[in-house]
Copies of this chain bind each other. A is one copy, B any other.
């Protein structure tokens, strides 16, 4: 006989309403009580209704472009542990530049027969890519959820994002408040939604301050060496503040600044983007715009559980506010 909510409640010593709150990941439950309920769920091998009898309905495919940028492991870990609390399993597919591409993983995921496929910063965010793969998956009964950047034409897909326009604006306003006027953008590739929207936020903040700076945008790869190249170009143009498209790019920019015998932040201020575990420990600790990874992962996991239960998912884009975290890579503009 399958366990029921009240069996779980009885074992955990809580009400069925509390069990329901935990299963549906709603607030109002202390961590200690939540842990007790999760233990009871596991002990009784409880499965959410709608997923019974089909282990593949309890599995989610998660596709990320790479794992060397620490923001992607952060997403993977967050989604896995959120889903784990609801009795679901995540399989993670990572596409490195010289490894397997997204399309191969999509085939594998469809072959396995998961309930949902979650794409983080994938080709869905690339305005120049072919997007047929998403509808192929949907036709095979797999819900598709896209994270961070939904390109035009994909409005029929559920989407969870950090507000990238706001992220670009926050970083730029921080530098403006510190007195910087020549503020450059070490952008990622602008064919990607996230990069172009962050440029939009940067340009809006510059315009609001009466500044025009379209000549100081450099497109580069999301790597330390990409950041180093972008930094070199921007420093040649005399900027004093740099908004970087990722923390990894920002660390490359810091290298470029120091390679000229200049200091961060006394001579040049640098703002990153993402924030992950080691960023407070870098030299200098990076000022950055933090993605609210926990909130995104919670929203993504909730959509996955809904998909596993056979529900129709809302296609309203869920956009979350980023937050400026001021550390030591930014300071007053040089006189």
Q: Is the CB of A80 within 8 A of B55?
A: no
Judging by beta carbons under 8 Å apart, are B283 and A68 in contact? no
Contact with B along A233-262 (1 / 0, CB 8 A): 000000000000000100100100000000
Contact with B along A136-160 (1 / 0, CB 8 A): 0000000000000000000000000
- CB contact list, A52-89 vs B, under 8 A: 55-56, 59, 66-68, 70, 72-74, 76-77, 80-85, 88-89
- A251 — which chain B residues lie within 8 A by C-beta? 278, 281
Q: Is A277 close to B, CB under 8 A?
A: yes
Enumerate chain B residues within 8 angstroms of A209, measured Cβ to Cβ: none
Question: Closest CB-CB distance, A210 to chain B, in whole Å?
Answer: 36
CA A98 to CA B230, docked complex, whole Å = 40
Complex Cα–Cα for A224 and B281 (A): 10
**B83 with A100: CB separation less than 8 A:** yes
Question: Which residues, 99 to 158 on A, are CB-close (under 8 Å) to B?
Answer: 99-100, 104-105, 107-108, 111-112
> In the docked arrangement, what's the CA distance between A91 and B77, Å?
14
* A8: interface (CB < 8 Å): no
Is A284's beta carbon under 8 Å from chain B? yes
Neighbour of A278 across the interface among B55, B70, B84, CB < 8 A: B70
Q: Are the C-beta atoms of B94 and A77 separated by less than 8 Å? A: yes
Distance between Cα atoms of A111 and B56 in the complex (Å): 9
Bound-state CA distance A146–B81 (Å) is: 23
Question: A93 to chain B: which residues have CB within 8 Å?
Answer: 89-92
**A100 touches which one: B70, B80, B277 (CB < 8 A)?**
B80
Q: A49 interface residue, CB < 8 Å from B?
A: no
Identity of the chain B residue whose Cβ is nearest the Cβ of A81 in the assembled complex: B99
Note all chain B residues with C-beta closer than 8 A to A70: 70, 73, 277-278
Which of B76, B88, B107, B112 interacts with A67 by CB under 8 Å? Answer: B76
A96 contacts chain B at the CB level, 8 A cutoff: yes
Do B108 and A80 have beta carbons less than 8 Å apart?
no
Look across to chain B and name the residue whose beta carbon is closest to the beta carbon of A67: B73
Q: Is A285 among interface residues, defined by CB-CB distance under 8 A? A: yes
Contact A277 B68 (CB under 8 A): yes
Is the pair B105, A77 in contact by a Cβ cutoff of 8 Å?
no
**Min CB distance, A39 to chain B, in Å?**
11
Which 4 pairs show the lowest CB-CB distances between chains A and B? A84-B99, A81-B99, A283-B283, A67-B73
Residues on A lying within 8 angstroms of B by beta carbon are 35, 38, 55-56, 59, 66-68, 70, 72-74, 76-77, 80-85, 88-100, 104-105, 107-108, 111-112, 224, 248, 251, 254, 277-278, 281-285
Extra inter-chain contacts (19) besides given A55-B108, A80-B95, A81-B99, CB under 8 Å: A68-B277, A70-B278, A76-B94, A77-B99, A80-B96, A83-B99, A83-B100, A84-B98, A85-B98, A85-B99, A89-B105, A90-B93, A90-B94, A90-B100, A91-B92, A91-B112, A224-B281, A281-B282, A283-B285
